[in-house]
Amino acid sequence: MTLIVMAAGLGSRYGGCKQIDGVGPGGEILMEYAVYDAVRAGFDKIVFIIKQEMEAVCRPIFTGPMARLRTPVGKQIEIKTVFQDNSTLPAFYTPAPDRVKPLGTVHAVLCAREAVTEPFAVINADDFYGPSAFVTMKNALETLRPEHEACMVGYLLKNTVSPFGGVTRGICAASGGLLKSVTETYKITLMPDGRIVSEPEGEAREQDGEALVSMNFWGYTPWIFGEMERYFHDFLRGLAPDDAKSECLLPVMTDAMIKRGSLAVSVLQTGEKWFGMTYAEDRADAAAKLRDKHAAGDYPATLR
């Protein structure tokens, strides 16, 4: 069972590379908690997707503390690193000269294709998902059919907004335990009076805080890679030559596949509360929550 950790984002709203910002009491980065939780749930291979310039900083972590982790049955984990860069793009596409932004989460997962031959989960590097969420995901992956099925851990919108600025979330509709749609929603903002609104086109729309949202915690089988490649290539063919910002995103792809009838996505319930670091101001809250979790015995004194 494999966990793919997407860690190649720019962190533009954060103002730096939040994926490697030591926020835990022992200097741990957020993805160390995800890996620790995944391994104790039974995941035995971790694939990190990073930018090549991050390798020198990440390598000591990947080959040090993380490499010593063991699954509950004592199996040593396998760690692989892949790069999200232009070398993995199809020959027919040339990025805009001023493009700095990666081409999105679909492209990121495709960069890990050669490293993954088993059922896998996908997460963001800068989010805290909670231990039981990984147990739930691992159990679901064990029951997925080889083709046309996937799963997703959902969180409540009210628990995923930041008081420091707008966020983007995939707002989900579900019925009978299956995902029916995912709407990528931009500029979701927590207002001073507690309301949650979005302004995708300059018009404020109130959002339900109890709504289910995707935090990019997906579960797939290797069958999905072929579908991803076709979807990504179609996305690239539709880009203008000077488009330096558009991204190909997992929630948007998943929504398209659901509507086409080619993918059934189970919605997994969890009592965990997500937190993350979208903005630099979120860091203090994340650090306090991690300190509390260490103090409560949820984690050892240090993960290093």
In angstroms, the Cα distances linking 32 to 57, 58, 140, 159, 192 are 14, 11, 23, 21, 33
Answer with the residue of higher pLDDT: 9 or 235.
Answer: 235
pLDDT at 275 over 50: yes
User: Is 9 a member of any domain?
Assistant: yes
Helix 30-41 vs helix 131-141: crossing angle, to nearest 10: 50
Structural domain contains residue 300:
no
pLDDT digits (tens, 9 = 90+) for 116-139: 999 999 999 989 999 999 999 999
Q: What is the pLDDT of residue 269?
A: 82
304 assigned to some structural domain: no
Average pLDDT over residues 93-111: 94
The mean pLDDT value of the chain amounts to 91
Does the pTM surpass 0.75? The reply is yes
Q: What is the C-alpha radius of gyration for the chain, rounded to an integer number of angstroms?
A: 19
Per-residue buried b or exposed e for 223-255, using 16+ beta carbons within 10 Å of the residue's own CB: bbbebbeebbbebbeebeeeeeebbbbbbbbbb
87: closest CA among 114, 65, 123? Answer: 114
Asked whether the predicted pLDDT for residue 149 surpasses 80, the reply is yes
Interval 4-21: pLDDT, tens: 999 986 454 544 556 677
pLDDT at 64: 84
For residue 260, being part of any structural domain is answered with: yes
* Residue 302 resides in a domain: no
Per-residue pLDDT, 154: 93
Q: Give the total number of structural domains in the chain.
A: 1
pLDDT at position 14 is: 45
Query: What range does the domain containing 244 cover?
Result: 2-295
> pLDDT category, 255, cuts 50, 70, 90?
very high
87 inside domain: yes
Q: Which residues contact 260 (CB under 8 A, 6 or more apart)?
A: none
CATH number at residue 51: 3.90.550.10
The pLDDT value given to residue 73: 95
Looking at the domain assignment, is residue 111 inside a domain? yes
Q: Which residues contact 267 (CB under 8 A, 6 or more apart)?
A: 151, 152, 154, 172, 174, 177, 178, 179, 212
What residue type is 103 in one-letter code?
L
